[in-house]
Homo-oligomer: A and B are copies of this chain.
């Protein structure tokens, strides 16, 4: 298979395939014309890579995992360790986003009712500058 074919088969882009090829995650052969050709083994490997990405593993994680596997060792313990770390990080980000979302939603609704104001040397936009203050007042109620 050529690069566009394998990309389409696995629902990704040629650029992504080339990226992993560059990183030597997959090692396709070469035709006489210089085109790379991807075997079914390459397809399996790429499928693995894409699945791992979808599960939240980083490209560097995948490099480590492939490193183990390519030494014939089982990567399972590493995989279990890594996903726990990634999940913890995801959890942190998730909570941060939840907070941010609430904050933004509150801002949107508050700002709908407020008038416009011209800027002053010490005030760029009273909506933003006043927000934390008024938000705190709300909390106190």
Contact = CB atoms under 8 A, between A and B. Distances in A.
A16 interface: no
Chain A contact residues: over half helix, strand or loop, or mixed?
Answer: helix
B123 A44 contact: yes
Contact of A87 (B68, B91, B104, B114): B104
Nearest to A51: B128
Indicate how many identical chains form the complex: 2
Given A51-B129, A77-B116, A119-B69, A93 B97 contact: yes
A33 interface: no
B75 A119 contact: yes
A9 interface: no
B65 A86 contact: no
A125 interface: yes
Interface of A: 40-41, 44-45, 47-48, 51-52, 54-56, 65-66, 68-70, 72-77, 79-80, 83-84, 86-87, 90-91, 93-94, 97-98, 100-101, 103-105, 107-108, 111-112, 114-119, 121-129, 131-132
25 contacts: A41-B122, A45-B124, A47-B129, A48-B124, A51-B128, A51-B129, A54-B103, A55-B128, A56-B100, A70-B119, A72-B118, A73-B118, A73-B119, A74-B116, A74-B117, A75-B119, A75-B124, A75-B125, A76-B125, A77-B116, A80-B108, A80-B112, A80-B127, A83-B107, A94-B98
